[in-house]
Amino acid sequence: MKEVNPIKDVKKIKKVKRLMIKDGNFRDLLMFTLGINAGLRISDILTMRWKDLVRKDGHIRDEVIVKEKKTKKTKKFPLNGAVIRAIEMYVQNTPIVDLNGFVFISRKKKENGETRPISRVAAWQSINKYCKKAGIEQNVGTHTLRKTFGYHQYKRGTDIAMLQKMLNHSSPEITLRYIGIEREKMNARYKAVEL
């Protein structure tokens, strides 16, 4: 499996979103927006149900609680404006039928006819397609979303200890390596010293 990196260029992030909106792909817009704004793993995003994002009265939740599949830890976080707008666009174009239903529903059904969420492969295909259309030439995968979240949190001043906690990493060093900052700093040092 190829290593993927964060999307560092905010203009390209915005272009990915514009392309998804232009195509009317509001499901994947929400998946992408949630991934880069919440730092969740794709496995936790794809299994979300509407009740995780929307209350019984139809209003969008202020905060979301997710039990992470990988760590089994509970993660609680508020939804920011970008995610709320993406939810609103999706709901306007695909009304919620069942609060217990999956948010990122696949057209393919289980053998018994029940709905299921899209697969990791389908998520990767969509993310990859739109990133390529937006001119992002680096390796892109579903993990790009989580790394993008971490990278931009760090670049906008989030303390590394706080970011480590947000990503549920075991050390600051792992977090810096994960979001590509360690490599960035090393490369800068190589370039800074000329003998």
The two tokens of residue 169 are 């990493």
The active-site residue, picked from 11, 22, 56, 70, is 70
Catalytic-residue membership of 152: no
The active-site residue, picked from 27, 75, 147, 169, is 169
Catalytic-residue membership of 17: no
Catalytic-residue membership of 169: yes
The active-site residue, picked from 75, 146, 147, 152, is 146
The active-site residue, picked from 17, 143, 147, 152, is 143
The active-site residue, picked from 90, 151, 154, 178, is 178
Strand partners, 90: none
Q: How far apart are CA 125 and CA 73, in angstroms?
A: 28
CA contacts within 13 A on the Cβ side of 169 = 20
The active-site residue, picked from 41, 75, 147, 152, is 41
How would you write the chain as a 3-class SS string? CCCCCCCCCHHHHHHHHHHHHHCCCHHHHHHHHHHHHHCCCHHHHHCCEHHHHECCCCCECCEEEEECCCCCCEEEEECCHHHHHHHHHHHHHCCCCCCCCECCEEEEECCCCCEEECCHHHHHHHHHHHHHHCCCCCCCCCHHHHHHHHHHHHHCCCCHHHHHHHCCCCCHHHHHHHCCHHHHHHHHHHHHCCC
Catalytic-residue membership of 178: yes
Catalytic-residue membership of 147: no
- Residues assigned a catalytic role: 41, 70, 143, 146, 169, 178
